[in-house]
Amino acid sequence: MMNNPWCLKSSLHKAIILFASFWMVGANAQSDAPILIGITAEFGMQNSQAAQSVEKGILLAIDEVNQAGGLLGRKLALEKRDDRGLPARAVDNMNELSANKDVVAMFCGRFSPVALELAPVANRIGLPLLDPWAAADSITAFASPSFVFRLSLTDSWAIAALLAHAQSRGMSRLALVLPNTAWGRSSDLAVRGQQHAGVEITRHWYNWGDTEFQPMLAKARMEGAQAIILVANETEGSLFVKQMAALPDKQRIPIISHWGIVGGDFSAMVGESLDSVDLVVVQTFGFNGARAQKEKQVATKLYERFGIDASMLQGQVGFAHAYDLTHLLALAIKKANSIDRAEIRKSLEQIKSYNGLVRHYTQPFSPTDHEALDRSQLYLARFGVNRNLLPIKAK
Amino acid sequence: MLFITQQSDRLQARYRQLDLRGKITVQLVSVSMIIGLLIMVAAYYAAKYQITTQTESILQGRAAIEKREIELRLGGLLAVAQSISNNPVTANALADSGGREIYLTPLLKSQKLEVTGASMTVLDYRGRTVVSSAPLSPVFDTAQMYERFMATGLMHATILHPSDSNSELDILFPIRYRLTNSVEGAVLLRIPLNSLLAPSSELERSWIKDKEGRTVAGQAPMDRIFEIDTSLALSDPLDSLQLKLAVSRDQQYLVDNLRLLMIGFLFLGVLVVLGLSIFARAMARMITRPIGEIATAAEEIAATGRPEVRLSHYTDDEFGRMAAAFNTMIDRLAMSYAELEQRVAARTHDLAKSHHEVQFTNERLRQRELYLRATIDNLPFFFWLKDSECRFLAVNKLFAEACGRSNPDEVVGMTDFDVWPTELAQRYRAEDLKVIETRRERSLEEHVVGDTEQGWIETFKKPVICSDGSLLGTVGFARDISERRIAEAHIREHVEQLNTVFALSPDGFVSFDQQRCVKYVSAAFSQMTGLSGNEVIGLNELHLSQRISELCIPQTRFIGISALRDRQKSGEGAIREGKQKIEISSGKRVLEVGLRETSVESVSQILYLRDITHETEIDRMKSEFLSTAAHELRTPMASIYGFSELLLAQPFNEQERHELLATIFKQSELMVSIINELLDLARIESRRGKDFTITTVDVVQILEEVIARYKTPEGRSKPVFEVLAIPLLVRVDRNKITQVLSNVISNAYKYSPNGGDVRISLKMSELVDPDDISQVGISIIDHGIGMTIEQCARVFERFYRADTSGNIPGTGLGMSIVQEIVELHGGHVLVDSALGRGTQVTIWLPIADQTINEVPHYDGEIPYLGGHI
């Protein structure tokens, strides 16, 4: 038939051949181009290592998936955008990436204001948003069906853990230091919801980018605060801790911190001041031997892939959360057997179980619950002599 | 143009036709009209200037106030907006999500913006509104501009709708997010420009212009009579907009009033001109009527020729006085008329009487002319008088005859060209013209060549000048001076000869005039003393004596000319002759100075100088030689004298006596040789070679003979003689030359006591100078004690001994004799020596002509045959 196409007179035949050739071209294109996972995060922010750590987690998981033969006969790849921690840039990045049909889902970084702005957009355009870090409670609570999935802690859980720690140390007067952002407001809300009777809490707001915390510390001390509940990232957090350390010995009070401070190389930024301040920080994960076998396995791959020792990795929570989330996404794609975003969203809710790095997940997401972790995952840690975070309380 | 010219001509013609009354009226009216117009124009411009300056100062004040107001308000707004952009809350809000309005909106709204309608808006990195203080968020559509602003991160100002008078000013202030250290948004300050302006009135308006001149705020009036622009001094970034505030004031009503005033002025002016013209006519009539009457009376007198008309005068003013004067004038005129007629009669009578006197005067004049004629005709030289045109007025008889005319009157009226040959006449004419031109007398002597004879004429010409300074002509005299010229030529020749004699004389002469001042100096004098003629001519004898005295060495100072004269009168012998010997220090000349007084009229005395340097030198040398010779002779004589005295005084044994006698003999021998050589020298000098027996001999042959005969000192070898294989003939006295050669060879051995060869060689002068083949050189060379350069120079001095030790015997006369003999043969002796190395003495003798002819022709070189002989 092909040897002599001029013999064909029937238009039907022609149509069939035309269709077949188009189909083949389409199939080829599909199998060649990788399935894309997008990420918009604060890569351009000074001091921050969080976005880089999340990226490493995703890349390592993608490597594993691709080594196992990829998905739907295609490779998996990451498409990266920098939003500098600014919601406006993040939304623009999401809109840009979502235009590409090969992008099946999108990661955000650790900034709650960014995630809070992204979430409604994700729901509107129907692109799954995977949150490996940002903690504001309301990120996952916007719409139904929700396209936002989180594998991280929430501010409510974190605040609860911090308050519980303070209580366990018999502290009844606390100073709450909050950023003047959605994250701060979310944390504040969490405190209001969980404040125990008899515990007196004063609030101190600061702006991102502020550098002077001495007046705030003085005010907190005058109000009789026994400890500081600190909601901050590494830049402001490190300055805060250093300024606390600069106070005379007797004027210093313990700092019980939300986990934003571990977004960068905090111990290096604070330096020796770390030794003179009583600092505990809430965590969900660390290469500390809790899940020795899986940790060792991933640490080996991490070293092979990036040449970094796992214990030296900054922002370990972001890495572990992103690693697990990527695998969960891969499972969902496999389960959906399609790159259709809506199908994937549905499949994410239907994953039965997965043995991850952070924990063993049993149905991590459900139509009513898009939180892969729970309160039990949280623990408090201190910086050890080697400047690595050591849990102070078993889970 | 043509039309205007025609009209103007017509008006002028009509004006001329007007009577006096009309002319006065027209002139008065036109002058008043011109003055009126000028006053009106001046008043108009003065009023206008006043209005203008006043308004401008009002406007300047208003502009200054409003400019300050706008600058302050804009500055305030900028400060507020900048503080918002720098506030950390604003940057924080950019990183925050929905909910930030809670704190950002109150922040913006709490800012007090001093300008109505101004708003502040926080924009994100793409210019989208985050929060605004305006009820409606401003639309920001210049995306490209915003991108540029974000990229530079610098404040930026722009005007929206610049062509619209409702335009707005947008200023962007960057918001820097400290955590990323990048500009992530902006505060937009929007100001409606109209709100900046003060309310406008009908009279005064203000508006703002951008740098293209477009009105961006307010409204420019259609009719801007007075307008002032001032640049607004604004801070960055508004300065780049270069905004200008313009203020205007409408002064139309003032100008309208001014025009009304001018119309009033014009109306009044017309009325004044009308009144003036009526007044002028009346005045003119008053003035012209009496003049008219005088004119009529004058016309009547002119017609009749008789001054009989009279004017009636009825007023006392100027016209009345004029009429009275007119009448008086007519009366006087009548009187003069009668007087004139009387005087004419008297004159006629006088004329007849004077005729006789004239005749008498003429007679006397003619007589005087005869005397004059006789005088000039008897003059012994040519005489003539010419007028200024060089025509003869008078000549004397001698002159007329010279021209070939018998009667002097024939020549009168002629010119030189009529009486002389053309060439001569031309010369005379030229001379005359020079005299006339320069007004100076001239005299000249000229050589005239006639047909038969020739001679010299002396001519003297002089201008004749009147007492009033005008030139009448020239007067001339001429005479024959041929004889005088011949006598002068003789004298000149004689003087030339004398001068030549003086110039050539080896003695120097100085002649003095009657005042005893130097009049002439001969060349020899200048040469001797070094005093040039210019230096001394005109000096008196005292000064000259001083000059000569300065030249002398102190021992022989010149005693002076007057002293010489005194000596002549009082002294004796050489002194009597008035002579003195002086020595000039430069050149060591010895001069003999003498003085001779003369009886010639023009020369009082002559100083003469004679160069006696040479004679003096010879005298000196003679006495020096005598004393040296005596000294040299006395030395051996003393020995002889002493030893012989010793022998006579006491007995000696045979041995001792023999020794003493031997010494006496040796000293006597030395004395004899000195005396012989002295005699030799004296003979040679006195005979100057006249006793030489000159023959042609061969140098080689003589040398061979000398060497053969020479008794070589013991232990010394014979001289080495380098023989030339050709005969070298010289014309010499054989004996004398033998003596010369023996002497030199003997010296060579004597002065080389430590041995060494004595070498003799011959050379031709052509080896030294290829063009000179006239001499042959005989070199005697030793390797002895030699001499220094100083010793070498004195080697020919008599009694000079290079050896002062006394070990080498000798008289010190040998080399003097050698030199004398060789030089008398026309040759010369050269001595070349170096101390401790030896001496070479070369005797150069002229070659006899025969030799040159006999020289066999060798190609280039003379063969050398060395060896002992």
CA distances from B581 to B544, B548, B558, B589, B590 (A): 17, 12, 8, 10, 7
> Considering only CA atoms, which of A60, A77, A136 is closest in space to residue A313?
A60
pLDDT over 60 at B115, yes or no: yes
pLDDT number for residue B611: 85
Q: Is the peptide bond before A145 cis (omega within 30 degrees of 0)?
A: yes
Q: How far apart are CA A183 and CA A208, in angstroms?
A: 11
pLDDT over 60 at A80, yes or no: yes
Sign of CA dihedral B791, B792, B794, B796: positive
CA distances from B362 to B357, B368, B369 (A): 9, 10, 11
Kindly state the DSSP code that residue B713 receives in the 8-state scheme.
Answer: P
Q: How far apart are CA B252 and CA B258, in angstroms?
A: 10
> Considering only CA atoms, which of B602, B678, B658, B668 is closest in space to residue B635?
B668
- For residue B668, name the pLDDT band (cuts at 50, 70, 90): confident
Q: How far apart are CA B808 and CA B747, in angstroms?
A: 10
Query: Do the chains contact at B184 and A111, CB–CB below 8 Å?
Result: no
Facing residue for A86 by CB, picked from B88, B103, B125: B125
pLDDT over 50 at A5, yes or no: no
Facing residue for A46 by CB, picked from B98, B100, B180: B180
pLDDT over 70 at B452, yes or no: no
Q: How far apart are CA B320 and CA B341, in angstroms?
A: 33
Query: Do the chains contact at B94 and A117, CB–CB below 8 Å?
Result: no
Q: Which of the given ranges, A3-17, A43-57, B129-143, B754-768, has the highest pLDDT on average? A: A43-57
Q: How far apart are CA B846 and CA B685, in angstroms?
A: 20
Q: How far apart are CA A307 and CA B558, in angstroms?
A: 128
Rg value, chain B, Cα: 70
Average confidence (pLDDT) over B521-547: 85
Burial of residue B826 (CB within 10 Å: 0-12, 13-18, 19+) is: middle
pLDDT number for residue A175: 95
B717 touching A (Cβ < 8 Å) = no
pLDDT number for residue A83: 93
pLDDT number for residue A174: 94
| Positions of E strands within chain A | 35-41, 76-82, 103-107, 129-131, 148-150, 173-179, 200-206, 227-230, 255-257, 279-283, 353-355, 360-362, 379-383, 389-391
pLDDT over 80 at B529, yes or no: yes
- Gap from A304 CA to chain B (nearest CA, Å): 31
Q: Please tell me whether residue B515 adopts helix, strand or coil conformation.
A: coil
Q: How far apart are CA B299 and CA B293, in angstroms?
A: 10
pLDDT number for residue A186: 92
Average confidence (pLDDT) over A270-278: 89
- Gap from B94 CA to chain A (nearest CA, Å): 7
Q: Which of the given ranges, A319-323, B106-110, B217-221, B654-658, has the highest pLDDT on average? A: A319-323
Higher pLDDT: A130 or B497? It is A130
Q: What is the pLDDT of residues B697-733, one digit of tens each?
A: 888 888 888 888 888 887 888 888 876 667 778 888 8
pLDDT number for residue A134: 94
- For residue A232, name the pLDDT band (cuts at 50, 70, 90): very high
Q: What is the pLDDT of residues B364-391, one digit of tens each?
A: 888 888 888 888 888 888 888 888 888 8
pLDDT number for residue B225: 67
Q: Are the CB atoms for B480 and B454 separated by under 8 Å? A: no
Query: Do the chains contact at B125 and A89, CB–CB below 8 Å?
Result: yes
Mutate to test the interface with B, among A82, A86, A137, A203 (most CBs of B within 10 A): A86
Q: Which of the given ranges, A6-10, A107-111, B34-38, B580-584, has the highest pLDDT on average? A: A107-111
Query: Do the chains contact at B97 and A210, CB–CB below 8 Å?
Result: no
Q: How far apart are CA B291 and CA B298, in angstroms?
A: 11
Q: What is the mean pLDDT of chain B?
A: 82
Facing residue for B128 by CB, picked from A88, A111, A182: A88
- For residue B446, name the pLDDT band (cuts at 50, 70, 90): confident
A92 contacts in chain B (CB < 8 Å): 126
Q: Are the CB atoms for A215 and A240 separated by under 8 Å? A: no
- For residue B666, name the pLDDT band (cuts at 50, 70, 90): confident
A315 touching B (Cβ < 8 Å) = no
Average confidence (pLDDT) over A225-244: 94
Q: What is the mean pLDDT of chain A?
A: 88
One DSSP character per residue, B755-813 reads: ----EEEEEEHHHHSTT--SEEEEEEEE-SS---HHHHHTTTSTT--S--SS-S---S-
Q: How far apart are CA B611 and CA A126, in angstroms?
A: 148
- Gap from A202 CA to chain B (nearest CA, Å): 19
Lowest-pLDDT range of B99-103, B204-208, B532-536, B689-693 = B689-693
A84 touching B (Cβ < 8 Å) = yes
| Positions of E strands within B658-758 | 694-698, 720-724, 729-733
Mutate to test the interface with A, among B84, B89, B97, B124 (most CBs of A within 10 A): B97
pLDDT number for residue B716: 83
pLDDT number for residue B571: 59
pLDDT over 70 at A376, yes or no: yes
Q: What is the pLDDT of residues A139-178, one digit of tens each?
A: 987 577 899 999 999 999 999 999 999 999 999 999 999 9
pLDDT over 50 at B249, yes or no: yes
pLDDT over 50 at B868, yes or no: no
pLDDT over 60 at A343, yes or no: yes
Q: Which residue of A has its CA nearest to B89?
A: A207
pLDDT over 90 at A328, yes or no: yes
pLDDT number for residue A41: 95
One DSSP character per residue, B779-794 reads: EEEE-SS---HHHHHT
pLDDT number for residue B662: 87
Phi then psi for residue B50, to 5 deg, are -60, -45
Q: Which residue of A has its CA nearest to B176?
A: A209
A342 touching B (Cβ < 8 Å) = no
pLDDT over 70 at B768, yes or no: no
- Gap from B98 CA to chain A (nearest CA, Å): 7
Lowest-pLDDT range of A256-270, B137-151, B579-593, B608-622 = B137-151
CA distances from B840 to A68, A87, B6, B548, B595 (A): 127, 125, 129, 49, 55
pLDDT over 90 at A108, yes or no: yes
Average confidence (pLDDT) over A221-244: 93
Q: What is the pLDDT of residues B181-208, one digit of tens each?
A: 889 999 999 998 888 888 877 778 888 8
pLDDT over 90 at A341, yes or no: yes
Lowest-pLDDT range of B75-79, B307-311, B856-860 = B856-860
Percent of chain B with pLDDT over 70: 92
Query: Do the chains contact at A44 and B182, CB–CB below 8 Å?
Result: yes
Burial of residue A284 (CB within 10 Å: 0-12, 13-18, 19+) is: buried
B124 touching A (Cβ < 8 Å) = yes
- Gap from B235 CA to chain A (nearest CA, Å): 29
pLDDT number for residue A1: 37
Higher pLDDT: B861 or B757? It is B757
- For residue A21, name the pLDDT band (cuts at 50, 70, 90): very low
pLDDT number for residue B701: 84
- For residue A302, name the pLDDT band (cuts at 50, 70, 90): very high
ipTM: 0.84
B92 touching A (Cβ < 8 Å) = yes
Lowest-pLDDT range of A22-26, A177-181, B111-115 = A22-26
A180 touching B (Cβ < 8 Å) = yes
Q: Which long-range contacts (CB under 8 A, 24 or more apart) does B665-668 make?
A: B667/B636, B667/B637, B667/B639, B667/B640, B667/B643, B668/B636, B668/B640
Higher pLDDT: B332 or B345? It is B332
Q: How far apart are CA B542 and CA B547, in angstroms?
A: 9
Facing residue for B96 by CB, picked from A44, A181, A211: A181
Mutate to test the interface with B, among A187, A208, A234, A235 (most CBs of B within 10 A): A208
